[in-house]
Structures are given as structure tokens and as C-alpha cells.
Amino acid sequence: MIECRNISKIYCNGDNETAALSGATFSVRDGEFVAIMGPSGSGKSTLMNILGLLDLPTGGTYLLDGKDVSHLSEDELANVRIQKIGFVFQSFNLLPRTSVLRNVTLPLVYGGVPRSDRQAKAEDALRAVEFPEERWEHLSNQLSGGQMQRVAIARALVNNPSLVFADEPTGNLDTKTGVLVMKAFRRLNREKGHTIILITHEAEIARYADRIITIRDGEIVSDMPNREVRND
């Protein structure tokens, strides 16, 4: 459960200040599939970083599962991320020269999960994104873009987070592969009940979500349910 009240973010780079977010207020219930849509530079990534506890807002209150997280230290934020949050990035961000399985296992390593439990969890996550088993031992840099993004999604799911953030997950993929990835998100939301917050600048991609929040110049300009969810 996410609750944002009047959240703002101002970046200071020496003298010039950039207001990337100004007064965003909304909430997301558990199990929702939300798309945050807006043109490039509108503040989508900034919002995701704050919601995903990678960054703190400069103003307003952010409650995650009813708890104010604006005063946590860097390491405390990391602990909450391990327990509740998974990330999928536009550029996949897999560790090169490292096997698929090891990449997926990595959050468990930092989460202090005992070695004996890791393998099963990583395998479950890879099966959930339908990643072919014969490639589990391949090195990440030997995969295609679509395969890399599946591995990245599996990595985001491996600690069974309640919240999954995806920042332009189809941005580096061709349309066909992008559709497959979006379908994977859909299924995870429907079948496993993960809350998914999807960030995109493409209306076509946003249509996979149940609710679309539109943001422009750091402000929310519309927030409405998606009446025509794509089901192809």
C-alpha cells in the first residue's frame, strides 16, 4: 500500500535547482497494476526512485504500508527494498560475465538468505517468467535483449516482493518482444498478486495496466482507470 501526500523533489546542482516533482498526491492499493505515463523529462523516473526507496523526497510525506519512510538511513532503506521491492530497468542492468542463475540469486545474497534456499527460489522466479531452463547457466552477456529483460524480471521477483517497479522495461526491446514482456507482467499481477508500477512514455504500453496516471512537468495531470485493457 503506497500513499503519497504532496510529494516534491528538487534537484540541486550547484546554483541551478530543478523541480522534477511538485506536489504529487495519490495512492496505490495492494495488487494494482498501475502505469505512470508522461513525456521524457516529466519526472517519471524521479517519482519511481522515491516510491522505490532509492531516493527521498525533498517535500511531502510518503507512507509505505502505513509507515513514514522519509527519515530512514541509506542502509535502512536498503533493508526495506530487500523485503518489499523489486526493480526492472530499461537497460536490464544484469551483471556481465555472470550466469543467469547467479544474477537472479543476487538479491537473496544481499538479503542474507541461506545458501540452501537460494537455488529453489531463483528457479521458481525463472519459471515464473518462463525463462527456458537450458539457458540458466548461460552468461548474461550471451542473451538477447528479450531474454535479458526476463532474467531482470526474475531477479526483481526472486525475494517475492509485494511491489515491482519497472522503468521503461520495453524501451530497449523491439515491439514483439516488448509485448511478451508486458504479458509477463500482466500474468504476474493477475496470478501472483504482485503490485506493479510501470513507467512508460508509450500509450500502447500503458494500456496493459488497469490504471493510468499521467504526469507532465512534475505534476499529475490525470489519474484514471484504464477502460480498454489490452488483452492480445
Copy the grid coordinates of residue 41.
523529462
Which positions touch ligand ADP (CB under 6 A)?
Answer: 11, 13, 18, 20, 38, 40-46
The nearer residue to ligand ADP, 1 or 10, going by C-beta atoms, is 10
For other proteins, give the closer residue by CB, 200 or 214.
Answer: 200
Q: Which is nearer to Mg ion, 45 or 159 (CB)?
A: 45
Residue 228 binds which of Mg ion, other proteins, ligand ADP, none (CB < 5-8 A, kind-dependent): none
Closest approach, Cβ 218 to ligand ADP, in A, equals 7
Our CB check for other proteins shows the closer of 82 and 179 to be: 82
Q: How many helices (H) and strands (E) does the chain have?
A: 7, 10
Does residue 119 touch other proteins according to CB under 8 A? no
Minimum CB distance to other proteins smaller for 113 or for 179: 113
Between the alpha carbon of residue 105 and those of residues 3, 45, 150, 152, the distances in Å are 30, 25, 14, 11
Contact status: 45 vs Mg ion (CB under 5 A)? yes
Write the secondary structure of 128-151 as one string of H (helix), E (strand) and C (coil).
HCCCCHHHCCCEHHHCCHHHHHHH
Residue 165 CB, nearest approach to other proteins (Å): 10
Quick one: which of 190, 207, 194, 187 has its CA closest to 158?
A: 194
Of 34, 45, 42, 46, give the one whose Cα is nearest residue 2: 34
Sheet-wide strand order for 195-200: 85-88, 163-167, 195-200, 33-37, 211-216, 219-225
The residue (of 159 and 200) whose beta carbon lies closer to Mg ion is: 200
45-64 footprint of other proteins as x/- string (CB under 8 A): ----x--x-xx---------
Q: Which residues contact 133 (CB under 8 A, 6 or more apart)?
A: 126, 127
From CA 97, how far away is CA 84, in angstroms rounded? 28
DSSP conformational letter for 161: -
- Name the minimum Å distance from CB 198 to other proteins: 17
Closest by Cα among 227, 224, 163 to 198: 163
Query: Is residue 79 at the binding interface for other proteins, with CB under 8 A as the rule?
Result: yes
Least separation in angstroms between residue 45's CB and Mg ion is 3
Residues at the site binding other proteins, with contacts judged by CB under 8 A: 49, 52, 54-55, 74-75, 78-79, 81-82, 86-87, 89, 93, 95-98, 106-107, 109-112, 115, 155, 159
Residues at the site binding Mg ion, with contacts judged by CB under 5 A: 45
